[in-house]
Amino acid sequence: MSAKHNDVVKLSEILEKFRDNFPVSSEKWEEYTSRFHRVQVPAKTILLREGEISRKAYLIEKGCIRVWFDNKGEEVTFQFFFENSTVSSIESFKKGTPSLFTLETTEPCTLWWIDKKDVDNLLDEVSEIPSMRNQILNILFERTLHYMQHFLSFVRDTPQERYENLLHNQPYIIQRVPQHYIASYLGISRVHLSRIKNKMARGK
């Protein structure tokens, strides 16, 4: 990875944002946050390649990460992540299996990464605290719901409706990400997405 390391930077505001969620001593907080490493990478940097085993999780301070997989020779975009999100190839990170996805930046990014073993330790410690247990469950649960909802929109809605929903609910995705990535994210060809936009531009 062609990246500038800069781990001595003062703990960023981005980590401070989570301070309230951790009912632990300053010492513990220091210890936890010191496991995160700040790194800056250019656009189109591959953080993890499909088939590799994920050993890092990322927190995005600035930028965008695209998660995609190869389907019969063409890239299919599965998800986008932006500022304040944590990203990993979740199944590979948790189970140590080869990743189904590639993680790639679409913009120059400022990221904080943390090693799997530090995450594991941290989880063990922190899940002794009931309120933290619930938070962990909630986060996982919300991600489950997100997949469910996303899937639902594929079964329930037409491609045009999916595009309209995206435009309405996450316009920043459309603004920041090249359109052909969005096409495969919506499950259609670039040509068809162009048609849809054209159709919508004239009164539907």
Can residue 197 be called a binding residue for DNA (CB under 7 A)? Answer: yes
Contact 7, 34 (CB under 8 A): no
Contacts with DNA by CB under 7 A: the residue count is: 19
Letter string b/e over residues 134-166, b meaning 16 or more CB atoms within 10 A of that residue's CB: eeeeeeeeeeeeeeeeeeebeeeeebbebbeeb
Supply the Cα-derived Rg of the chain in whole angstroms.
19
Residue partners of 59: CB distance under 8 A and separation at least 6: 14, 15, 36, 84, 85, 86, 87, 111, 112, 113, 114
Q: By C-beta, is 62 or 197 nearer to DNA?
A: 197
Q: Tell me how far, at minimum, the Cβ of 76 lies from its own copies, in Å.
A: 6
Please identify, using beta-carbon distances, which residue of 152 and 191 lies nearer to its own copies: 152
Q: Residue 84 — left, alpha, or beta (φ > 0 → left; ψ -120 to 50 → alpha)?
A: left
**For helices 130-156 and 116-126, what crossing angle results, to 10°?**
120
Residue 158: contacted member of its own copies, DNA, none (CB under 5 to 8 Å, by partner type)? DNA
**From its own copies, DNA, none, interface partner of 178 (C-beta below 5 to 8 A by class):** DNA
Q: Does 176 bind DNA (CB under 7 A)?
A: no
Which positions touch its own copies (CB under 8 A)? 69, 71, 76, 78, 90-91, 94, 100, 124, 127, 130, 133, 136-137, 140-141, 143-145, 147-148, 150-152, 154-156, 187
| DSSP result, 131-188 | HHHHHHHHHHHHHHHHHHHHHHHHHHS-HHHHHHHHHHH-HHHHHHS-HHHHHHHTTS
In the bound state with DNA, the residue whose beta carbon lies nearer, of 165 and 179, is 179
Q: Which C-beta is closer to DNA: that of 171 or that of 187?
A: 187
Cβ 159 to DNA shortest distance, Å: 5
Report, in Å, the least distance between residue 194 CB and DNA: 3
Nearer of residues 24 and 100 to its own copies, judged by Cβ:
100
**What does 67 interact with, of DNA, its own copies, none (CB < 5 to 8 A by kind)?**
none
Which C-beta is closer to DNA: that of 59 or that of 103? 103
188 forms part of the interface with DNA (CB under 7 A): yes
